[in-house]
């Protein structure tokens, strides 16, 4: 399977291997907003809304990444996955989307090893 930046959630989750998305239960983080199939006003995820409004792919592209209250609050939640999503964003920031997509294409979950 060939994955694209569209398969990366704004927060750093890799949606390409997400069972909920592959089973078509979820449309993913970004699909449908650029062509107005989905209503931006109904977005519940603050990170997604921010990325779409700023016109960036993920939080890795944001110049306010380190100071972002919403993102830091999200990453400080209990749960292993939040730390992995943060790791993903900083990996993308350092190495780029292509490198991230090469690594993540081997994962079985929304996060994995680098």
pLDDT digit string, tens, across residues 23-78 = 888 777 777 777 777 888 888 889 999 998 899 999 999 999 999 999 999 999 99
Total length of the chain: 114
How confident is the prediction for the chain on average, in pLDDT? Answer: 90
Instruction: Return the pLDDT at 16.
Output: 87
- Distances in Å between the Cα of 77 and the Cα atoms of 44, 70, 74, 83, 87 are 17, 11, 6, 9, 14
Asked whether the whole model's pTM tops 0.95, one would answer no
How far CA 70 is from CA of 46, 74, 106, 109, in Å, comes to: 7, 6, 29, 24
What pLDDT shows up at residue 19? 82
Q: Quick count: other Cβ atoms within 10 Å of Cβ 81? A: 14
Under a CB-based contact definition with an 8 Å cutoff, are residues 52 and 40 in contact? yes
């Amino acid at each position: 399977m060939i994955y694209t930046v569209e398969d990366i959630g704004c927060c750093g989750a890799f949606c390409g291997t997400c069972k909920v998305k592959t089973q078509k239960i979820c449309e993913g983080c970004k699909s449908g907003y650029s062509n107005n199939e989905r209503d931006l006003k109904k977005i519940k995820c603050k990170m997604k809304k921010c990325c779409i409004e700023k016109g960036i792919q993920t939080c890795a592209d944001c110049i306010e990444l380190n100071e972002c209250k919403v993102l830091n609050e999200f990453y400080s939640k209990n749960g292993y996955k939040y730390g992995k999503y943060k790791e993903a964003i900083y990996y993308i920031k350092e190495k780029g989307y292509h490198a991230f997509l090469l690594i993540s294409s081997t994962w079985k979950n929304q996060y994995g090893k680098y």
